[in-house]
Amino acid sequence: MADDATYCLHTLLMAPLEWSKVGEAASAIREALTPLGGSLYGAWRSQIGRPRDEVQLITRWSNQDADLAEKAVTSVLPPTRSALSVQMRPTLRPIDSRHPTLQGNYAFRQFTTPESDWPEFLDLCAGAWSDFEKSYDSQVIGLWRFNILNKGLVQSLLLTRRPNLAMWERSKIPENDTEAEVRRKLSRRYDLCVDTDVFTTTLLTAGDRKDEARWT
């Protein structure tokens, strides 16, 4: 069963070369969120596909105060050029409050799916993920449905982790029957969507190692 909390995705465009300040402020962000009933799920820097100074930050809320999320986060950060927040609910994952801690290649993929195809979309995800994770040393972190009213359509966010960018590419090209079946299910999911896009990131709040590469 999925976690019953509300999550918020915050897309922050920092001042030039100040994206690292978000990771440095992780403790301050946690301290600002805790009294309000929120917690920091993670923060990610741009790798491929988004501006250098853009950061994706996710907060988790076990109460009804998620509307306070953006103000709480930005209050302890240097001034941002822009901040956009959207609330979302877990579907199949995450199942609890445990947050990502390992550095790696994190892909943020958004989908827009007809409401009528959403149950099949979820079934395809559930059917593919186990073999996907075993085949590619990868993890599905979460699949959230955005709290956005869009008649007849479901907008969602899938967050996956691979150990590195090379494995992200490797996971697109099946090398055996198990991988081919994973790709078949994910390709069917892809075909159900009216729109989808993806970009990759690394974890600013990783507990094992810091990513110091200049990706963008």
Q: Which fold has domain 6-93?
A: Alpha-Beta Plaits (3.30.70)
Q: What is the mean pLDDT of the chain?
A: 96
Q: What is the pLDDT of residue 91?
A: 98
Mean pLDDT of the region 204-213: 96
Q: What is the pLDDT of residue 67?
A: 87
Q: What is the pLDDT of residue 66?
A: 84
Of the listed ranges 14-28, 66-80, 197-211, the least confidently predicted one is 66-80
pLDDT band at 21 (very low <50, low <70, confident <90, very high): very high
Q: What is the pLDDT of residues 161-193, one digit of tens each?
A: 999 999 989 999 999 999 999 999 999 999 999
CATH architecture of 105-200: 2-Layer Sandwich (3.30)
Q: Is residue 9 within 8 Å of residue 86, measured between CB atoms? A: yes
Q: What is the pLDDT of residues 30-82, one digit of tens each?
A: 999 999 999 999 999 999 999 999 999 999 998 888 888 899 999 999 999 99
Range(s) of the chain covered by CATH 3.30.70.100: 6-93, 105-200
Transcribe the chain into DSSP letters: ----SEEEEEEEEESTT-THHHHHTHHHHHHHHGGGTEEEEEEEEEEESS-TTEEEEEEEESSS-GGGHHHHHHTTSSPEEEEEEEEEEESSS--SS----S-SEEEEEEEEEEGGGHHHHHHHHHHHHHHHHHHHT-EEEEEEEE----TTEEEEEEEEEESSHHHHHHTTS--SHHHHHHHHHHHHHHHH-SEEEEEEEEETT-SS--------
CA distance 194 to 18: 35
Mean pLDDT of the region 14-37: 95
The alpha carbons of the chain give a radius of gyration, in whole angstroms, of 17
